Each structure stands twice: as C-alpha cells, then as structure tokens.
Amino acid sequence: MSKLEGKTWTWETVIGLEIHAQITTKSKLFSGASTKFGALPNTQVTLVDVAMPGMLPVLNEMAVEQIVRTGLAINAEINLYSVFDRKNYFYPDLPQGYQISQFSDPIVGKGEIEIKMDDGEKRGVGITRIHLEQDAGKSIHDMDPSFTYVDLNRSGVPLMEIVSEPDLRSSAEAAAYVRKIRAILQYIGSCDGNMERGNLRCDVNVSVRRKGDPLGTRCEIKNVNSIRFLKQAIDYEANRQLNIIENGDKVTQETRLFDSVTGKTRSMRSKEEAHDYRYFPDPDLLPLQLKKSYVDRLSAELPELPDQKLLRFVNELGLSLDVAEEFVFEKEKADYFEPIATGRDAKLVANMVRKDVFGYANFHSINISDVPVTPQKYGELIDLIVEGDINNRIASEIFILMAKTGKDAEVIVQEKGLRQLSDTNELEVVIEKVIEVSEKQVAQYKNGNQKIIGWFVGQIMQKTKGQANPKVVNALLRKKLN
C-alpha cells in the first residue's frame, strides 16, 4: 500500500526508523564477557555487567572499529571526537540504573543510503547519526506464574543505533531501506542481520499528513523484528492515525507496540523526552578520540559493498537487474551463487541455482547455507550440462539426488545411466518412429505451423526418458521434416 486514501483527502505517510543492530564482537561493549548466542541464562556476565559498585567500564576496540566501518560504508561523517553519556532510567533488567549511550556527540554523523522508491526512482534516505550503546538484560515473565526472572547475558552487549531522517513515504520504502541496511551490515560483517534473534530490530516512527503540510504528530512502534511485521505495523498505524484525524481528533504522541497476532499496534506508554533521561557524560569514560589515519585505513580496507556487487553482477556477469537485486540483497544467495558463476556461464548458473537450490531451501524452509549440496559440488553439476553430458531438466533431478544421498553429480549420472543421448544415429531411429505415427502433426508442420516442433520434441523426450540432447533433436527433426 503506497497511497493512503482517506474519506476527505489523499494522505501521505511519513516514516523515520531507529535501527538497533547488535555489533558483531566476541565480547561486550565495556566488559570481557562473551556475546555468544544461546548460552544458559546469566552465564555470560561479569561484575561490570551486573553493575557492582566500583567496577569500571573498559571500551571494546573492536566495537569502535565496527561502527566506524559501518559509518564509512554509508558515506557518513566519522566524528573523530565523540562522548559517552549516561541515559538514566529504571528497568529491573538494567542493574546500572542507566544505559551508556551517546547523545550530543555520536561517533557517526550524517550519511545517506540510496534505495529504489515506490515511483521506481533511486533516491537517498538521510541517515541522521549512528551511535554506540549498551543493550539491556532481559526480563522473563513466562517461566513462573508468580515471578519474573532476569537474564543478564545481553546486558552490555554492543549495539549501534542507526537513526534515519523522516524520508520514507510508505511501508514498501521502509522495507527496502531495512533490507539495504541489513545487506550493508552483513557485507562488512559489523552485524549478522539476524532479525529472528533480535540482532537487528527497528523502532518505527510513523505520522501522516496532507501532502505539502508540515510533519504530523508521530507515534513510535517499538522493537519490530521482521520486515513483514514492519510493513504490517506501518500500514496499520498510518490508517489508525488517518481515521483519528478525519474524525476531527488529534494523534497523541506515544510509544506503541505491534502485536503480530492481531496485526495491530497498541499503546504502551506516553512518549518520554530526552530531558526525562537526564543525559550527562559518563565520568568513568574519557571522550573517544580517533586519528584520521585510523579512519582512512578502515576505509581503504572495506570489502565490496552491495551496490558495487550489483553493478558487477549486471555489467560483468550479465544478470538482469531483478535477479541481481535478489541475489545481492540476500547475501546468502550471493554467497552461494558467486563461487559457482566465477569462470562459468553466469546466466545459466543463475537460472539453475534459483530453480534448484533456492527452490529447495524455500521448500524445506531452511537457510541456503544449510542446503546439503555445496557450491563447489553444484558447480560440477553445471559442468556436466556445459559439456553436453546432461540437459537442464535431468540436472535438476540429479540435484535432488545429490541433496538426498550426498553423492557427486558424476557418480549419480554413471549409476543411473543418465548421460544425455547425443548420438545422431540412435536419435534418428527414435525421431523416425515418432514421425511415422504422427501424420496429422507432420501435415500441420508442412502447412507452416512451426510451433508443432515443440510437440515433436516433447514426444522424443518422452521416448528417451528426458535424456535426449534437445539441441541435436531440434536439428535432426527439422532436417527430417523438411
């Protein structure tokens, strides 16, 4: 939904996102505790993470490196001077009583990300800032009917908060923006982008206005953790606000929650202002001072970014823009495809892996990296097609057998006798038999019906159990029929 049709007016949705991305590091932002996922509750906690009095935070250099690289990847200003502030609030899972974050002097300043907007044009979405902060712990309400438990494993895990300008105008644009950010983070390895685990989650700010009017009052929907939910939440919220305004009421600025079961948002609390948090510089931490040479080095060492890969896939590998975008923005797909395509017919590889490998992953609801045929082994299957040993259809059948048995393509071809029939003499016999019993179709061909060739090919494929070489069959058929 991109147009917001009210009773009285066509409204415009305005969206700005705050993305919380867990930075990929071995240890926490200010302590040596592990950040590994899936550990038993409270096993990855140091005295710093439980905020024992007198403990001092020590900044994790790797977290700084990752956020600087992220800033560079979105063409943002890197602030050589930045400050850590305390953001004070009470939560049972926040033992410090404050979160160490950055307020007036974030480490990354203004940047921009280009996305394809709803009108098909590419435009920039402004990035306001990216700052470093600690994650809180987790309150667990469903383990006991009368107690709430607290797990501090996540307490102190490094996050970067990526704040956008209110430049997005529809749920589709917001989704494209998140996909792009996720891809960039994954390419440079600063966040794994795993939304199911909550390693990348969005606070979504939504308002509506008549086109051309100043910004309307916004609501902020907290912690949306899938792209599907993001779209649902925005569409629901925009319509809710529009109905309020058209009924002559005013939208109240507040924090809301998205309920994925009902597809609706509901009020959580009234909006707090920055001054409610009593931000002040953390006296335990010196301002962070970076050298320009350090930033320059990280810039020079950045790997290929999604936009660069996209250009390369289109210009050098000859993929269509749609297919290239599908591969590039789902990094797993690019990772599978690229080693196979290197040195081979990229278009053929793209068609085949989409049908076989991505189809298989989709059907079995597994990650592409968990498909039991490696890119190397799949490449060997492609080589059999190129060498004329098998055709595409048989290759797809062989792929399924490879996944099932773990055997190599060549072995399966041998065992099952699947090698393609290219022998002219053998094929001629089959073709002649088909022509003999198909007087009607032969007549149609002679009357100029070229399409009937396809029917003949089908017959011959049937007789050869799909193993005939389609190119040879086509050539022989035409010769015989003419």
100 binds, among Mg ion, ligand ADP, none (CB under 5 to 8 A by kind): none
Minimal CA–CA distance to 346: which of 372, 369, 320, 309?
A: 320
| Biggest alpha carbon–alpha carbon distance for the chain | 96
Strands 288-289 and 254-259: unpaired
166 binds, among Mg ion, ligand ADP, none (CB under 5 to 8 A by kind): ligand ADP
158 binds, among Mg ion, ligand ADP, none (CB under 5 to 8 A by kind): none
124 CB-near residues (< 8 Å, 6+ apart): 112, 113, 114, 167
Query: Residue 7 CB, nearest distance to ligand ADP (Å)?
Result: 22
Minimal CA–CA distance to 19: which of 113, 134, 115, 159?
A: 159
Q: Which is nearer to Mg ion, 13 or 101 (CB)?
A: 101
3-class SS of residue 335: helix
146 CB-near residues (< 8 Å, 6+ apart): none
Residues making up the chain, counted from first to last: 482
Residue 211 per-residue DSSP state: T
Half-sphere exposure of 357 (CA within 13 A, CB side): 29
Closest CB to ligand ADP: residue number: 16
Q: Which is nearer to ligand ADP, 17 or 157 (CB)?
A: 17
Cα–Cα dist 285/276, whole Å: 22
Query: Residue 104 CB, nearest distance to Mg ion (Å)?
Result: 16
Which residues are at the interface with ligand ADP (CB under 6 A)? 14-18, 163-166, 205-207, 215-216, 218, 220
Residues in contact with Mg ion, shown as a per-residue x/- string from 16 to 45 under the rule CB under 5 A: --x---------------------------
Query: Residue 167 CB, nearest distance to ligand ADP (Å)?
Result: 8
Q: Which is nearer to ligand ADP, 277 or 455 (CB)?
A: 277
Query: Residue 154 CB, nearest distance to ligand ADP (Å)?
Result: 21
14 binds, among ligand ADP, Mg ion, none (CB under 5 to 8 A by kind): ligand ADP
Query: Residue 87 CB, nearest distance to ligand ADP (Å)?
Result: 10
Cα–Cα dist 395/387, whole Å: 12
Is the distance from CB of 178 to CB of 227 less than 8 angstroms? yes
Q: Which is nearer to ligand ADP, 165 or 330 (CB)?
A: 165
12: tokens are 């415009």
Residues in contact with Mg ion, shown as a per-residue x/- string from 428 to 457 under the rule CB under 5 A: ------------------------------
Cα–Cα dist 305/471, whole Å: 40
Amino acid type, 272: E
345 binds, among Mg ion, ligand ADP, none (CB under 5 to 8 A by kind): none
Query: Residue 234 CB, nearest distance to ligand ADP (Å)?
Result: 10
Closest CB to Mg ion: residue number: 18
Which residues are near Mg ion by CB under 5 A? Answer: 18
